[in-house]
A and B are shown apart, each in its own frame.
Chain A
């Protein structure tokens, strides 16, 4: 997928003024947040569960090479094939090679962020293969030549009216804005493809090393169709998805669904440990797991290794005041929101995503919402420091930091600048708010107001109290 993360400010500015997008985001993120809160509130001591889930992820990251090998051994014993890909291109080539070997023409695909990362659909189409996205949201994205803007709700940026117009144009349906009728239309269109596809591609939410099992978490049932109907099934899975055992899985899968949608469990959790047995009545004859690295192993040795603990629930997106306003596309690559602002610079190179670490108010809502307690704000701060160290920081910020440093290191200067700001700001404020700050400070007031400074600073008040003999 093309990287447009350096356009964050421009994209976000457009997004903030896009009424349709704002409507869609308001309708979507609110329900996501409420679902998670309700889902976690009834859990058996949410804080203790988060610790349990976090510990299982950290252990797995520590043991990653052993667990990958253990998974491979188990899964191979059970009749499956494990392959590895260093990067996006290698991954796509593997999928194409598998398709060639098995004489595949038509592919049905379930939702997978890893294959978004590799741009698999384009690669398959270029290789002359027919590929149909079968998750409703991803299907809409595919026929609209769009990209997903949320890792759980791919078309959170679209209104029902937009989906309707698209289906009228591409599927030839009668106009309707009823989500039920739109869903039926998509189901009818895809049914035939499911029954005639030669290969199914899915992602994998977890790879359980102990049993050699790939688990996928879905609601529509398309994931199960992709992994049960065609004769070949390929699961593309990031290497960080490997976990140690079945008990860890029990905790993680339930925290994933509760955090993502507020569901106790999604409608389907499908656990696959190889192709169908010979005596099975149905199921794939071949099953492949492709472990994708694409930069993950390098992140593991940095101080950002914790970002690999992410289980992709999307809770940090829903709860983030920045995401709620700018939407997923502004982040300019596959992974949006707070976790995207961390992962994207790490995966595509910090200079290709320089604005993202700044795309946060550091309010900490993301960390609070995270089911594995990833310290996203701390990592964003560290990334900002990396940017400063490498001289890749907007002049506004470096200038401000320099000025701040000078002022802060001299008390008289500090107090004088505060006094000046107080007098000047009150002189131009209306109702105590500043609507147009001068110079580069105007960047702030373009989109919001700034409160005028108080008439007296804390220092002044404190001195007065002392003079009056109070403590």
Chain B
């Protein structure tokens, strides 16, 4: 019944909008090229990315290759302590991570929180302290990671656990958000129904504008840039 009213509302609203004299006939046309919001970064991109992420209390590790990336990952898990299981993307950019974890006795869980299993999986996932993901891109001037959801790249590992570790191939680091958004980002938005930009750990300033980290999302964000 309410849905039928929606159809009527749709017709009425669109008709009203179309019958009006549309405002802002003189609005400036599309710019030939959009001005990016941040200045072109000077110097080393990775260094700038590190500065921006660490300004937000995240951590960035520069690993020369995927083997040392795994070492960084394991040492972060040591720091967290008492980690016997982690959750993560099924398709991590460094496949050898699975083996490295199991030799340490750590179980990697890929939560399938859909359909009938949803509630149970969510409950079971609640006790897991660490989520491991890749990242599709990162932007240096804002200290941002871009993660797209698709088969093998779930939403939960970067959201539910208090610690999020992201693996970023060095070649996926872009100077600015706009450098990715115009082509690759547009494609990602058309392919995936859930894309998220992550800029630092979860935070709130609701109480007297004091910054507190780790409200609902992860309190810790570690980015391992490798290659």
Q: Which A residues lie within 8 Å of B27 (CB)?
A: 55, 58-59, 61-62
A298 to B13, CA, bound (A): 10
A62 to B170, CA, bound (A): 42
Check A58/B207 contact, CB under 8 A, given A195-B119, A264-B199. no
A300 to B2, CA, bound (A): 26
Is A65 interfacial (CB 8 A cutoff)? yes
Interchain CB contact under 8 A, A267 and B202: yes
Interchain CB contact under 8 A, B156 and A281: yes
Taking a contact as CB atoms closer than 8 A, the residue among A65, A250, A279, A282 that contacts B156 in the complex is A282
Q: Which B residues lie within 8 Å of A222 (CB)?
A: 215-216
A78 to B195, CA, bound (A): 14
Interchain CB contact under 8 A, A268 and B196: yes
Q: Which A residues lie within 8 Å of B90 (CB)?
A: 281
A153 to B5, CA, bound (A): 34
A62 to B29, CA, bound (A): 12
Interchain CB contact under 8 A, B52 and A160: no
Interchain CB contact under 8 A, A86 and B197: no
Is B96 interfacial (CB 8 A cutoff)? no
Interchain CB contact under 8 A, A279 and B151: yes
Is A320 interfacial (CB 8 A cutoff)? no
Q: Which B residues lie within 8 Å of A285 (CB)?
A: 114-115
Q: How large is the interface on A (under 10, 10 to 19, 20 to 34, 35 or more residues)?
A: 35 or more
Taking a contact as CB atoms closer than 8 A, the residue among A154, A211, A228 that contacts B206 in the complex is A154
Q: Which B residues lie within 8 Å of A270 (CB)?
A: 194-196
Interchain CB contact under 8 A, B149 and A179: no
Is B67 interfacial (CB 8 A cutoff)? no
B36 CB, min distance to chain A CBs, angstroms? 6
Q: Which B residues lie within 8 Å of A383 (CB)?
A: none
A267 to B27, CA, bound (A): 32
Interchain CB contact under 8 A, A276 and B177: no
Is B123 interfacial (CB 8 A cutoff)? yes
Q: Is the interface of B mostly helix, strand, loop or mixed?
A: loop
Q: Which A residues lie within 8 Å of B81 (CB)?
A: none
Interchain CB contact under 8 A, B114 and A62: no
Check A44/B37 contact, CB under 8 A, given A160-B208, A279-B151, A282-B114. yes
A101 to B115, CA, bound (A): 16
Q: Which B residues lie within 8 Å of A275 (CB)?
A: 193
Q: Which A residues lie within 8 Å of B31 (CB)?
A: 52, 55
Interface members, chain B 169-211 (any A CB < 8 Å): 177-178, 181-182, 185-186, 189-190, 192-210
A55 to B12, CA, bound (A): 27
Interchain CB contact under 8 A, B216 and A59: no
A233 CB, min distance to chain B CBs, angstroms? 10
Interchain CB contact under 8 A, A61 and B24: yes
Which B-chain residue is minimally distant from A24 (CB atoms)?
B208
Check A208/B206 contact, CB under 8 A, given A44-B35, A94-B2, A293-B9. no
Q: Which A residues lie within 8 Å of B66 (CB)?
A: none
Stretch at the interface among A26-34, A415-423, A460-468: A26-34
Interchain CB contact under 8 A, B204 and A213: no
A-B contacts besides A83-B3, A225-B217, 20 pairs, CB < 8 Å: A43-B38, A45-B35, A68-B14, A68-B17, A153-B206, A179-B207, A182-B207, A195-B122, A220-B216, A220-B217, A250-B34, A250-B37, A251-B34, A251-B35, A270-B196, A271-B196, A279-B150, A282-B118, A293-B9, A300-B17
Report B's interface with A, CB cutoff 8 A.
Answer: 1-3, 5-7, 9-10, 12-14, 16-18, 20-25, 27-31, 34-39, 52, 56, 90, 110-115, 118-119, 122-123, 126, 141-144, 149-156, 159, 177-178, 181-182, 185-186, 189-190, 192-210, 212, 214-218
Closest 9 CB pairs of A and B: A221-B217, A281-B154, A58-B27, A97-B2, A220-B215, A221-B216, A305-B23, A137-B206, A65-B17
